[in-house]
Structures are given as C-alpha cells and as structure tokens.
Structure 1
Amino acid sequence: MSGILQNRASRSRTATSRPAGERPASALPPRPSRLGQTVATAVVGLVLLVSAATLDVEWSDLRGLPAAVAEYAALMFADPDWSRLPRALFEMWRSISMAWLGAMLCVVVSIPLGMLAAQGVGPAWLRLALRGLFAVIRAVPEVIIALVLLTVTGLTPFTGALALGIAGIGTQGKWTYETVETLRDGAADAVRAAGGGRTAVVRWALWPAALPALLSFALYRFEINIRMSAVLGIVGAGGIGSMLANYTNYREWDTVGMLLIVVVVTTMAVDAVSGALRRRIMEGA
C-alpha cells in the first residue's frame, strides 16, 4: 500500500515539474483548420448564385418544358421518314471518314510532340513551350477552329477533319506526356546502363511501354470525333450534321427523327467496337 502511494506521489511531482508551455504526451493534437475550405466553398456558392440570378431566363417556362419535349419527340419519332435513309447513311459515312482522318492527323502530330513534352525527354524550354501550346489548343472549341478554317478551306469535309485534328492535338498531347511520365524507370535505367542516350531510351524503353495506352487514347479520340463531326456539320463542315441542320431549319421533323436515329445507332456501334479494341489492347486476349 505504501508503494502505491509513493508511485502516485512521484507521478504528481513529475506532472507539477513539467514546464508550463509543454503539452502532455497524451494530449490530442490541435484540430486542423478548415477555414480555407470553408471560404472556397462559400465563394463557389456565391458565384453560382450570382450567375443564376443574372441570367436572362424565365424560370417559369421550365414548367412547360416536359410537354414541349414530348410534343417534338412525337413529331420526330412517331413516324420517321425513311425515304432519305440512303443519303443519310452516305452523309454518316462522310462524318465517320472526317472523324477518322482527324484522329489520324491528331495522333501523327501529337504523339511525337507529347513525348518531347515529357519530363526527362525534351529540354525544359521545349517542354514548357509545348505544354503551353497544348493548353492553348484545348482552350479553343472545335467549332471555333472550324469557323476560322472555313475562311481558308471553304465548306468541305476536309475543313471538319482538319478542325478535329487540330483540336485533338491539345488533349492527345497532354495524354501522351502524362502517360510517359507515369512509366516506371526500370527499362529506361537499363538502357542508360547499357550506354544508350536519350534517343535510345525513348526508342527502346519509353515507346514500347507507352504504346498500348497511346493506342487506346487514339481510339478514344476517334470516338470523340464521331460525336463532334455531327456538330461541325451544323456550321457547314459537311457530313450528317449539315443534313441535320438543313432539315431542322425546314421544320421537317420526321426526317430529323430519322437522322437522329442514324446518328445514335452509328455512334453506339462505333463506341462498342472501339471499346472492345481498347480493352483488347490494354488487357490482352
């Protein structure tokens, strides 16, 4: 009993002898401040509220939107006009060709530039310049690029393909250098240990390892171009989009419904095939 009392007394003397500013070992750390997160959330919420309040929108019209959508859906899909299906298929094929040509142009240009923009491949000044170029291209929509090219190349499908190719360089280039930078350094170190220079490292270490991912990204870019080709056709670049814009202006809703069915079915089929190819590339047989 006396030993227990002596231990308690010694612990109390130790506690009283601790400096005033020293925290006990068992005390919890201070709770992290969430002031920055709270302020950022409040600012974002305020921006959203101001944006919604300053829009020139009659919010009461939203109540009639479901009825209007149902009305036009009935006009388009109740009895589609299949008499123009052959021409629609031909224009859809032109859109697919436009998307494929744009994807190939994008891949041929963006992959070499993207690899030069990767850390450890190109010099610092070149990396910064290329990454800045990719960011500028990504900031410009495909429609704006097509409108600029229309003044040079005219109203042709080549304009749409060129616009899709230029617009895809920004995204594809970013995917390329990010893919190269995430690769493991084992193969590159082995090539350097064997006496290989920077070119040998790219050729025998980085390129074989990055190729499956880059091919997958190229196919995904083709899927995106299929959708965008219809949009570019609306501004005069040809393809199914031009046909869709013309019949929409003429208010021939039964033909518009048929064109939308062709676009949706074709896009889903291309996505299914492209997705299967991408899985085969990334995962094997």
Structure 2
Amino acid sequence: MQPDTNTETIEPQSGRLEIPPQPSLLWPNILTIGVGAIVLAAGAGLQISWADIPQIPANVANYLQLMFASPNWEKLPRALTEMWRSISMAWLGAILCVVVSVPLGMLAARGVGPAWLRAILRGLFAIIRAVPEVIIAIILLTVTGLTPFTGALALGIAGIGTQGKWVYESIESAKEGASEAVRAAGGTTAEVTRWALWPAVAPSIMSFALYRFEINIRTSAVLGLVGAGGIGSMLSNYTNYREWDTVGMLLIVVIVTTMIVDAISGAIRRRIMEGTRIRELARSA
C-alpha cells in the first residue's frame, strides 16, 4: 500500500520571539519630579521652623493635660444651651439646603432640564462648593449681623453645592426601567420626574440630607468662632482668655453631642437604605 503523496507536512516555524518594547518612563518621571518640586516649594514658602517640630508632642500633651485633667463643669448648663443653639443652626441650615437644592439638583440632571440650564446650575453648584462656610458667614455678617441666623443661613447656602450635586448624580445613576415605562405611556418630563425618578432617588436624597445635617453639626462649631453664635462662640471666648479647663469641658460637650447625633442619624440612614433594598427585592420577586 503506497502512502498518500497528497498529505501536507507541517514544519515547525522557526524564528525569534518578539518582545514588546519597554514603555517609556519619561513622562511619569517628569510628573514625579514636578510633584516633588511643588511639595518642596510649598514647604519652603511656609517658613516652617524645623527646630520647633520635636517640641510639638510635648506641647500637645501639656495642653491636653490643661484641658482634660480637671475640666470646669460650672459652665455646663450654658454650654448645653449653646450646643442646642448650634444644633438648631445645623438643622435649619440642612432644611434650607434641602428645600433649595432638591429642585435645582433635579433640573441639573441629564434628561430632566435643558442643556443650557444644566450647565448654569452645575456651574453654580461648583462655585458654591469652592467657597468655605466660614467665608460665606463672614460675608453674611455684614448683612444679618452677629446672630445664629447668620450661621444657619451660611450652612444652608454652603450645603446647596454639595447637596445639589448629590441630587443630580443620584438621578442620573437611577435605573431607566420606570422612566422608560412612563415615557412609553405618554408621560411628559415633569410626569417622568414625579412618578419614576423621584420614587427611585428619594431614599438616597433623604440619606444625603441627614448626612449633611451631621456635617452641619461639626461646622456650626467652627462658624461660632467668627461670631455666628453657638458653642463655637464660647470656645473662641474661653480660648482667648486661656481658660483651658473650661475649653476642655466645651470640647467634651461637642464631642459627645456630635457622636450621639451621628449615631442617631446613621441609624435612620441605614433604616432608609435597608427599606429601599427590601422594596427592590420585593419588586424583583
């Protein structure tokens, strides 16, 4: 039996294995050198006294001992009153922030507001986020005076930028199923927003609003340093007079109150989000 002469023989290919070229490290090195130069220039511009740095731990320990070794509890009733004033400022500021930022944030979302309005609102939110609460309070002091209302107004205005951004990002990340169903039924943009988008993002927006309230509690103490009232004003006054035992008591009140408010607000936020997940599982089942 003769072998089949038509069978092709496959010979192994010979040749060297091509190694890809090594990526250039020129631009990463230039970027690293540039960042290092900026850090060194910033440190040189601050005129830091490097000889005093080793003494910082001992100074901090000394002041901590002055404040917390024997706190002065005689001013506790007034401290609690001022702390309640700071909480009121934070709460009013959070309400003002939500009332203004929710409708504006919804108009800034893609698919809700027109392109020109979205650009204006997002630019406005970015400008507000760039200005610290203290600067806003200082500007408002010339109009409203040294009152707690100034602090509440400053917290409300400062929170609009962040809360508005959270609102339109939540709307844009929402699932499209409900929106498409309302549009298919002939719904307008307002009806899609009311019956599809708002039910989907309302729990997230409420959670963000509570989180903003937590932030306002901490910020209200800082605003008191510029004369906006609350516990911050007491901290500023007693710090200027170097009454460290009273300052320590005030810091304890601020820390304990902030932790309690954070725990309560965190529990409410978890309940809201867990309820949202339960409803989603019920709909999917």
Among 156, 166, 169, which residue is 2:157 paired with?
Answer: 166
Cα distance, 1:154 vs structure 2: 0.2
> Which amino acid letter does the alignment assign opposite residue 205 of structure 1?
A
Alignment partner of 1:152 is 2:143: yes
**3-state SS of the aligned residue for 1:238?**
coil
Aligned equivalent of 1:271: 262
- Measured in 1, the distance between the counterparts of 2:249 and 2:199 equals 45
How far is the alpha carbon of 1:41 from its aligned partner? 2.9
Task: Tell me which residue corresponds to 1:234.
Answer: 225
1:1-285 → structure 2 map (5 Å cutoff): 7-8=10-11, 11=13, 27=18, 30-33=21-24, 35-284=26-275
Deviation at 1:283, TM superposition (A): 1.4
AA partner of residue 114 (structure 1): G
Alpha-carbon distance in structure 2 between the residues aligned to 1:80 and 1:207: 49
Displacement after TM superposition at 1:7 (Å): 3.1
Q: Percent identity?
A: 70
Change (3 A) 1:47 1:207: same
Q: Secondary structure at the match of 1:183?
A: coil
Pair 1:188–1:33, CA change in 2 (3 A): farther
Amino acid at match of 1:259: L
Of stretches 170-179 and 45-54 in structure 1, the one that deviates more from structure 2 is: 45-54
CA distance in 2, matches of 1:5, 1:122: 69
TM-score, L = length of structure 2 = 0.90
| C-alpha displacement of 1:36 | 3.8
Q: How big is the alpha-carbon RMSD for the aligned residues of Structure 1 and Structure 2?
A: 2.1
Unaligned runs of 5+ in 2: 279-285
Partner letter of residue 135 of structure 2? I
Q: Distance in 2 between matches of 1:228 and 1:262?
A: 15
CA distance in 2, matches of 1:31, 1:219: 51
Superposed displacement of residue 30, structure 1 = 4.8
